[in-house]
Structure 1
Amino acid sequence: MESVIIIVFVMGYLAITLEHNIKLDKLIPALIMMAFCWALVALGVDNFTQWFDSSKHSLVDGFASFGHEEKLHMVEETLLHHLGKTAEILVFLLGAMTIVEIIDYFDGFSTIKGYVKTKKKSKILWIFSILAFILSAIIDNLTATIVLISILQKIVKNRDERIWFAGLIIIAANAGGAWSPIGDVTTTMLWIGKKVTTLKLVEYLLLPSLLCMAVPTFIASFLPAFKGEIDFEEEEEKAKSPHSARMLYLGLGAIVFVPIFKTVTHLPPYVGMMLSLAVVATFAEIYSRSKFSISSFDSEESDEQAHHSPVHHSLSKIEMPSILFFLGILMAVAALESLGILFNFASTLQETIPMMGTELHVPGVTGVSDLVVLLLGVGSAVIDNVPLVAASLGMFSEPIDNELWHFIAFSAGTGGSMLIIGSAAGVVAMGMEKIDFFWYFKKISWLALVGFLVGSAAFMITRSLF
């Protein structure tokens, strides 16, 4: 039965990886994979000889001798446990996405366009790379990429020139997302899963991530594509909301407040995110002069008012397919974890792969090779990094803020830049600018690889300082 579950998972994984080839949204195989894996677990529970307790990160003693009802009860408890942990991530993401959409409702991101005062391509490259690095750490790399490419389209009119900038934005956004607990979904997973803390994440990864962005940008600034000036035509801008800048700073400040709230209260991050959303939504409703209540949908009047409510508008625009994809993939990985498959795989991995380079020494364990983590980064460029990191959570048992978790956060977060399909930022840029896979592979991938290797080397050198 375990073999059948693994086959179902691999088939679903392949469908997710080949999303663009088979023209099937990746949320569909993710949800099918989740349902089938847990259904097979429930149906074949009597055939399993081991069970993994995620709360204790160890195999359950004597599971094979348990009766049918006892085993089934343990499956239900484990399913509920994983659903709760997954829901923490999803509710957190829903709050962050809604705040970003509220900022966009007030055209807040147009404020950023005012920072670009030059026509020189190399300077514009640095401006957008730095903005991508900073913004992605606050509003996540996917949203930062969407915002900056949207602004880029208004500044660089020539698409052949613009896709070069978009390629470097992908690298910078993924680098910026790696060192912030709210900058990338995989880093958020490690943060919410209590594998890393905000302070240590910044200490370990700020410099490697900065180099991962700066080195490719520096090299690219000497390439022919970034020589000279752009043809810049001043356009008559449409009137924007008088509250746009205010909502931008309020929204970004509210998101940055979440790690502070968690540190002070020790509550899960989604609680702070809901508080931030409530504050931003309150000001949004006041500024829009709308009396609409998001809890009232009964009367025709409320439906009419809904069109004037920034909160309702923002809730209708959030990326629900992404939320459902995360639900499917995280719960499917949880099924493999519960059967002890990932735990056994981690043990095999550590025994068969030689300890090359500097090892991660942890008292009581054999250590995990840096090579394994680097391969994880390369793997995240080929396949989605979310299931890879989800699997690592079930594979390794190192304590919170161990170097391993920070290296995984960096490797999975920045390794995806090496292929345009390897990260959410790359996929959305591919869609917005119709960037060809092979063009990116020839022109940008080598820059991303250089940044990844330089950042990884910087991490290996500096981690002993913390």
Structure 2
Amino acid sequence: MLTAIVLCFILGYVTIVFEHPLKLDKTVPALLMGSLCWALMSLGFHGGSLSIIDTHEHVYSLANGVTHEAEEGFVNALLHHLGKTAEILVFLIGAMTIVEIIDLHRGFEILKNWVKTKNKKRLLWILGALGFILSAIIDNLTATIVLVTLLRKLIQNKTERLWYAALIVIAANAGGAWSPIGDVTTTMLWIGNRVSTFGLIEHLVIPSIVCFAVPFYIASFMTPFKGEIEMKDTGDDNVAQKLLSSRTMLFLGLGGIIFVPIFKTITHLPPYMGMMLSLGVVWLVSEYIHPEEDFTEERKHQYSAHKALSRIEMSSILFFLGILMAVAALETVVVGDVGALRYVAEQLQNAIPNQDVVVIILGFMSAIIDNVPLVAASMGMYSQPIDAKLWHFIAYSAGTGGSMLIIGSAAGVAAMGMERIDFIWYLKKIAWLAFVGFIAGAIVFLILYPFLPNAVGGVPGAH
């Protein structure tokens, strides 16, 4: 039965990786994989052929007959993993709703006023800086969508636009790596108490800046970013798009998201509680604010939180549910006398004693395989204390390594879909820039880490 669980996970994983050739939404295999892994484990457990282990290292088995304690241990393990997964999902739903409310009120149109240059090199750095900063606040996926939408309103030539969109992916992924709310993987590590807000910022902000700045510096000397660009006249468009509520909702929404880590630090409550509070405040204001001069009750639904909720990508939420529960199954099923993921970690440690090399390999893997299950697996494999070097390096590698392929990150996939970026074109033109930035940031991280205050090394290896 253990073999069946592993095969189910591998088959589901491969299907997710090849979602584009198969023309199948990755949510489908994720949901099937998550439910089937637990179903197979339950059959094996109740048949007496499998044992499970909980987060307190208690092993439960029905091999010697049915016991109430073992049954309860299985149910509690399932509920524990569902609860930890739900924390992440509730957090993401709140953040996505706030971003959609801002977008309904055209708050992101304000950003267009910050881009007034026709110089290609200057425009590259402005968009890159916006991507780096925005991704740390509203997450790298949303930042990419916002900036690619902005690009469409500024640049007419599609070929020129492709170069900027590709570089925005690198900037957004680098910006998301040092913020607890900048990337799904850093959010997972933060909610899972592997990293703290200030620990993540302190140890990753400089490597992330290097990861962003090095490729942009090199690109600024390349032919596509020389000279001036023919930009669209956005004057009339700005007037047409402007709403009375745009600026208010932009700053209120972004402020609400930024407030979440502060709320967690003050109250010691999980991040999703702070996100619920922020969403409640933003929703409250959106109910009474007047976006237009002649605002009527009939127009209210156009700017309501209900409409924002309908625009959320629920398929992404369900994908995370499926993939995280599948990884939880591997964390729970026993191999030898430990969980399957812990067993893998021990074998990795024996094969590659240098943990830094393992994490760098994980960064390369995140360009090919979705980084969410990679990070989820690493959280089940290792037991270093909060803010250990391992967790910060995993956050950096998984967050920025995905830039090396256009399909390696949510931001890349979004840009690919919006601008029809060709996989091979990105591989030839952009991948090497992302690689240079990734390695440069990794080197800076490894050099700086011993000199930073409160550095926690942890004990190398697994549990």
Contact 1:306–1:312 at 8 Å: present in 2 too? no
Picking from 301, 317, 322, the partner of 1:307 is: 301
Quote how far apart the aligned CAs of 1:117 are. 1.1
Aligned to 2:323: 329
Distance 2:326 2:225 in 1: 44
Aligned to 2:43: 43
Percent identity over paired residues: 59
Contact 1:288–1:308 at 8 Å: present in 2 too? no
Contact 1:92–1:273 at 8 Å: present in 2 too? yes
Query: Within 5 A, what are the aligned runs for 1:239-318?
Result: 239-288=241-290, 307-318=301-312
Distance 2:414 2:282 in 1: 26
Distance 2:149 2:359 in 1: 34
Quote how far apart the aligned CAs of 1:289 are. 7.9
Aligned to 1:29: 29
Aligned to 1:136: 135
- Listed one character per residue, the Cα deviations across residues 229-276 of structure 1 (whole Å, up to 9, x for unaligned) are 111231321142111111111110110000000000000000000100
Matched letter for residue 2 of structure 1: L
Q: How many residues align?
A: 439
- 1:53 counterpart = 2:49: no
Distance 1:120 1:8 in 2: 52
Contact 2:215–2:434 at 8 Å: present in 1 too? yes
Contact 1:288–1:310 at 8 Å: present in 2 too? no
What's the TM-score, normalizing by structure 2? 0.92
- 1:440 counterpart = 2:440: no
Query: Within 5 A, what are the aligned runs for 1:186-197?
Result: 186-197=185-196
- 1:402 counterpart = 2:388: yes
Contact 1:99–1:251 at 8 Å: present in 2 too? yes
Aligned to 1:450: 436
- Listed one character per residue, the Cα deviations across residues 150-169 of structure 1 (whole Å, up to 9, x for unaligned) are 00111111010000001110
Contact 2:194–2:385 at 8 Å: present in 1 too? yes
Contact 2:48–2:62 at 8 Å: present in 1 too? no
C-alpha spacing 1:188/1:217, structure 2 compared with 1 (3 Å): same
- Listed one character per residue, the Cα deviations across residues 60-109 of structure 1 (whole Å, up to 9, x for unaligned) are 28886573554332221111111100000000000000000000011000
Matched letter for residue 53 of structure 1: D
Contact 1:51–1:63 at 8 Å: present in 2 too? no
Partner secondary structure for residue 51 of structure 1: strand
What's the TM-score, normalizing by structure 1? 0.91
Partner secondary structure for residue 107 of structure 2: coil
Contact 1:86–1:330 at 8 Å: present in 2 too? yes
Contact 2:323–2:373 at 8 Å: present in 1 too? yes
Aligned to 1:353: 352
C-alpha spacing 1:328/1:61, structure 2 compared with 1 (3 Å): closer
- Listed one character per residue, the Cα deviations across residues 324-359 of structure 1 (whole Å, up to 9, x for unaligned) are 00000000000000011101111111011132xxxx
Distance 1:307 1:112 in 2: 25
Distance 2:427 2:365 in 1: 15
Matched letter for residue 347 of structure 2: T
Gaps of 5+ in 2: 334-338, 453-463
Distance 2:220 2:253 in 1: 32
- Runs (4+) of structure 1 exceeding 6 A deviation are none
C-alpha spacing 1:123/1:3, structure 2 compared with 1 (3 Å): same
C-alpha spacing 1:265/1:64, structure 2 compared with 1 (3 Å): farther
Aligned to 1:170: 169
Per mean C-alpha deviation after superposition, the further-off stretch among 421-430 and 239-248 is 239-248
Aligned to 1:88: 87
Per mean C-alpha deviation after superposition, the further-off stretch among 30-39 and 73-82 is 73-82
Distance 2:82 2:60 in 1: 23
Contact 1:288–1:309 at 8 Å: present in 2 too? no
Cα root mean square deviation, aligned: 1.7
Quote how far apart the aligned CAs of 1:288 are. 3.9
Aligned to 2:16: 16
Contact 1:138–1:183 at 8 Å: present in 2 too? yes
Matched letter for residue 189 of structure 1: M
Distance 2:114 2:148 in 1: 15
- 1:378 counterpart = 2:364: yes
Contact 2:61–2:70 at 8 Å: present in 1 too? no
Matched letter for residue 384 of structure 1: D
- 1:150 counterpart = 2:120: no
Gaps of 5+ in 1: 291-301, 356-368
